[in-house]
Amino acid sequence: MIRLWLPDRPGALGQVASRIGAVRGDVVGIDILERGGGQAVDELVVELPDPSLVDLLVSEVRQVDGVAVEEVRHIADARHDPRVDVLEAAAQLVGATQVDALLAAVVEHAPRVIGARWVAVVDIDGQGRGVLAASDEAPSEAWLDAYLAGSRAAQREGAPAPAAGSDIVWAPLAGSGLALVLGRDDMPYRARERRQVAALARVIDTRLRELHRARSRAHHPSASA
């Protein structure tokens, strides 16, 4: 997988594909992550006949005028469809019948479908619930609280989010008083990825509210009636 910046003009992607073909690479997937200001950020999934050609591939792509390579990483299956991962993760979340199982599914699936090193579900409505679920690599509760407080304050004031947020993304679970936070190292989240996080947060929030309503009805059947 190669993530690159390129001019948002007709033919630019074709020039990149031609360079990839020159090293016997085969483009098997394309995602447009962000567009604006005359630039685009794309992710290309490329099959190469030999792993030793990666450096040559990067060198060739950089020969295209205006192109910059942001990241290159090896993936196990070049023909794997990440959209299937998203649907499978959604099925696991919707199918969870207990809150703990739902949160465990978030920790398991969210990093893979969004692209993150860690994930956490954190209380933001002041009920003292702290971190409800998190992967092992997640920062401390104090760090998460401080980050979310600063980011929310910046949003209220209409200011840009803190600089540290470039490789951290979060979205509120508005009906549950929680936040979904994901992070990775030295690779900014782009517009499409931020939209994916917001959509995932809505799915989680909806299921959490359904589970809480079901538990409330089970504890107070007369109120439900």
- Judged against a pLDDT cut of 70, whether residue 164 lies above it is answered with no
CATH topology of domain 82-221: Beta-Lactamase (3.30.450)
Mean pLDDT of the chain: 88
CA distance linking residue 200 with residue 110, whole number of Å: 8
**Residue 219: is its pLDDT beyond 60?**
yes
For residues 42 and 13, the answer to whether their CB atoms sit within 8 Å is yes
Whether 39 contacts 102, CB under 8 Å: no
Q: How far is CA 136 from CA 36, 117, 195, 203, in A?
A: 35, 10, 25, 23
CA 211 – CA 205 distance, rounded (Å): 10
How do residues 57-112 score in pLDDT, each as one tens digit? 999 999 999 999 998 988 876 566 667 888 888 999 999 999 999 999 999 999 98
Which residues lie across from 27 on neighbouring strands? 46
pLDDT category at 209 given cuts 50, 70, 90 is very high
Confidence at 135, pLDDT banded by 50, 70, 90 = very high
Examine the pLDDT at 2 and tell me if it is beyond 80. Answer: yes
User: Which SS3 state, helix, strand or coil, does residue 81 take?
Assistant: coil
Each domain of the chain, given as residue ranges in start order, spans 2-72, 82-221
Categorize the per-residue pLDDT at 205 as very low, low, confident or very high, splitting at 50, 70 and 90: very high
d(CA 169, CA 181): 6
Using an 8 Å Cβ cutoff, are 180 and 106 in contact?
yes
Angstrom distance (rounded) from CA 38 to CA 8: 5
Percentage of the chain exceeding pLDDT 70: 91
Chain centroid offset of residue 14 CA: 27
In this structure, the strands spanning 178-183 and 168-173 are antiparallel
Whether 2-72 shares its CATH topology with 82-221 is answered: no
Number of helices (H) and strands (E), helices first, in the chain?
Answer: 7, 8
Supply the pLDDT for residue 115: 87
**For residue 59, how many C-alpha atoms fall within 13 Å in the half-sphere facing its CB?**
7
Q: Quick one: average pLDDT of 120-132?
A: 91
Residue 122's beta-bridge partner residues?
131, 179
pLDDT grade for 139, boundaries at 50, 70 and 90: very high
| Lowest-pLDDT choice from 163-167, 192-196, 197-201 | 163-167
Per-residue pLDDT, 126: 81
Beta bridge partners of 134: 120
Least confidently predicted of 167-181, 184-198, 208-222:
208-222
In the 8-state DSSP scheme, what is residue 113? I
Q: What is the pLDDT of residue 129?
A: 86
pTM for this model (two decimals): 0.76
Determine the pLDDT at residue 22: 94
Residue of 135 and 166 predicted with greater confidence? 135
- Spatial contact of 142 and 121, defined as CB atoms under 8 Å apart: no
Residue 186: its pLDDT value, please? 79
Cα–Cα–Cα angle for 105, 190, 145, rounded to 5 degrees: 55
Mean pLDDT value of segment 27-53:
90
**Separation of alpha carbons 112 and 172, rounded Å:** 20
CATH placement of domain 2-72: 3.30.70.260
